[in-house]
Amino acid sequence: MIYNIKNTESIVKGVVHLPTSKSISNRLLIMSALSENKLIPKELSDSDDTNVMLNILNSSFPEHNAGHAGTAMRFLTAYFACKPGEVILTGSERMKNRPIAVLVDLLTELGATIEYAGKKGFPPLKIKGAKLKGGKRSINSEVSSQYISALLLIAPYLHGGLDLSLKGNMVSASYINLTLQLMKRAGIRYSWNNNNIKIEEGNYHAGVFHVEPDWSAASYWYEMVALAEEADIFMPGLTSDSLQGDAALALIFESLGVKTVFEENGVSLVKTKPTTDFFEYDFTLNPDLVQTLIPACVLKNIAFRFIGTQTLRIKETDRILALHNEMKKFGVQLDYTENGDCIAWDGKTVFKQVESVLIDTYEDHRMAMGFAPIALVSREININDPNVVSKSYPGYWKDLAMTGFQVEDLETKM
């Protein structure tokens, strides 16, 4: 399937009801399951990732497929390791090539019985659950914060709790903080000093938890306001005191020409003038925003240097290679280090209008959503495999159509 996206007037206006956060939803679902459903999440995300988590947790079958959902794979690995019974946990072909040994090794140290049912170090996994012992442990924090969050979520249910030392340069620490703040709201006591996190043994308290709108999804509307010639976007439900690390958008986009106005019931985006022609930023805390910022900067002719991007290599796809390939279609040459910890553009390879360009999405929702706003400048763009947005933002194309874009299925037209 291919969608043709047009916005010939370069105008984007409307009220956008964002999906709720899948990051919060998936954490609350694990917490709810461990509390024997005494903790009740409300307004869960309708994303593929959350539906996968919900379906697996509610299934009585011994085999489970997490598909492309990395969060579900990591969180469920830890969850099933501490619950009685045997399960097999697998995923898509891409998931079978995403490493999980760091998490499996530490769970094994805690007393879990986990076998690799395929390639060593990767899913699928055969897990035999049991009551695990906590204590002092250490983990490499340079690979994925999801490993750490998975461990933290089950930590109150380990005998003696968990005293976890984080080794190396931590990535995506904002997601670790999100996990801890949700746990605190559910009655769990913890301390986080430098690179050491201690979780006390306990139980998640009963109660109702409401899920916030997704700040990561808001990023695409920031990008659209930056790129449009005329814009007026309001997003209900977003707040300045959000638990989500990607709320940093409000500060990030100021220099790119978007002002955030926090109102009583949401956020208004106001188009302003960019204040820089070179943008440098460390995305260690916010790697999911890179696919939004690169097209935005290139089309605003703002050269950039982004660091802290190394985890993009092991996401739904190799996001650095995907960005390189797709920007090259517009004549833009991105420079990046071999390990992916830096991506840069010097502004010399200028964006070129390309008629009927087709953007490949690599089974990655953020490639589709980050590149579609290019239509505000090029007036037209084609997106391959557009349904991939269902992973996090199923209503994305509908929202585009409601705010000034023409969205057409080329296969249906044929």
pLDDT surpasses 50 at 158: yes
d(CA 132, CA 160) in angstroms, rounded, equals 9
d(CA 145, CA 165) in angstroms, rounded, equals 13
pLDDT surpasses 60 at 414: no
Which amino acid is located at 98 in the chain? R
Average pLDDT over residues 280-292: 94
Give the SS3 label for residue 354.
coil
pLDDT band at 301 (very low <50, low <70, confident <90, very high): very high
Which of 174, 192, 210 marks a domain boundary? 210
Question: Would you list the DSSP string of 215-241?
Answer: HHHHHHHHHHHHH-SEEEEEEET--TT
Asked whether residue 217 falls in the same domain as residue 190, the answer is: no
Asked whether residue 218 falls in the same domain as residue 337, the answer is: yes
The DSSP element (H or E) to which 294 belongs, if any, is helix 290-299
Task: Tokens for 43, please give them.
Answer: 């307004």
Asked whether residue 141 falls in the same domain as residue 268, the answer is: no
414 burial type by CB count under 10 A (0-12 exposed, 13-18 middle, 19+ buried): exposed
205-259 pLDDT tens trace: 999 999 999 999 999 999 999 999 999 999 999 999 999 999 999 999 999 999 9
State the average pLDDT for the chain. 95
Which of 183, 210, 237 marks a domain boundary? 210
Do residues 73 and 88 touch, judged by C-beta distance below 8 A? no
Residue 121 region, left (φ>0) first, then alpha (ψ -120 to 50), else beta? Answer: left
375-384 pLDDT tens trace: 999 989 999 9
Average pLDDT over residues 48-67: 95
Asked whether residue 108 falls in the same domain as residue 153, the answer is: yes
Contact partners, residue 66, CB within 8 Å, separation at least 6:
52, 56, 72, 73, 76, 89, 90, 91, 95, 123
Which residue bears the tokens 């279609």?
329
Asked whether residue 217 falls in the same domain as residue 268, the answer is: yes
Residue 413's CB is within 10 A of a number of other CB atoms, namely: 8
Asked whether residue 192 falls in the same domain as residue 269, the answer is: no
Determine the structural domain holding residue 190 and report its residue range. Answer: 22-210
pLDDT band at 330 (very low <50, low <70, confident <90, very high): very high
70-116 pLDDT tens trace: 999 999 999 999 999 999 999 999 899 999 999 999 999 999 999 99
Is the pLDDT higher at 171 or at 351?
A: 351
Contact partners, residue 133, CB within 8 Å, separation at least 6:
110, 111, 158, 159, 160
Q: Name the domain count of the chain.
A: 2
Helical axes 173-185 vs 22-34, angle rounded to 10°: 40
Asked whether residue 116 falls in the same domain as residue 251, the answer is: no
Asked whether residue 6 falls in the same domain as residue 28, the answer is: no
pLDDT band at 170 (very low <50, low <70, confident <90, very high): confident
26-52 pLDDT tens trace: 999 999 999 999 999 999 999 999 999
pLDDT band at 336 (very low <50, low <70, confident <90, very high): very high
**Alpha-carbon separation of residue 148 from 34, 175, 196, 346 (angstroms):** 17, 9, 12, 36
H helices, E strands: number in the chain: 14, 22
Asked whether residue 41 falls in the same domain as residue 150, the answer is: yes
Which residue bears the tokens 């449009």?
228
Asked whether residue 176 falls in the same domain as residue 255, the answer is: no
Pairing of strands 159-167, 133-140: parallel
Residue 234 sits in a domain whose CATH number is 3.65.10.10
Asked whether residue 246 falls in the same domain as residue 377, the answer is: yes
Give the chain's length. 414
Taking the model in full, what pTM does it have?
Answer: 0.92
183-199 pLDDT tens trace: 999 999 999 999 999 99
pLDDT surpasses 60 at 271: yes
Backbone angles phi, psi at 331, to 5 degrees: 80, 10
pLDDT surpasses 80 at 412: no
pLDDT of residue 354: 87
d(CA 369, CA 15) in angstroms, rounded, equals 18
pLDDT of residue 387: 96
The DSSP element (H or E) to which 402 belongs, if any, is helix 396-402
Asked whether residue 346 falls in the same domain as residue 298, the answer is: yes
Peptide bond before residue 295 is cis, with ω within 30 degrees of 0? no
Give the catalytic positions in this structure: 288
d(CA 300, CA 361) in angstroms, rounded, equals 22
Which of 210, 231, 264 marks a domain boundary? 210
Do residues 236 and 15 touch, judged by C-beta distance below 8 A? yes
pLDDT surpasses 60 at 23: yes
pLDDT band at 413 (very low <50, low <70, confident <90, very high): low
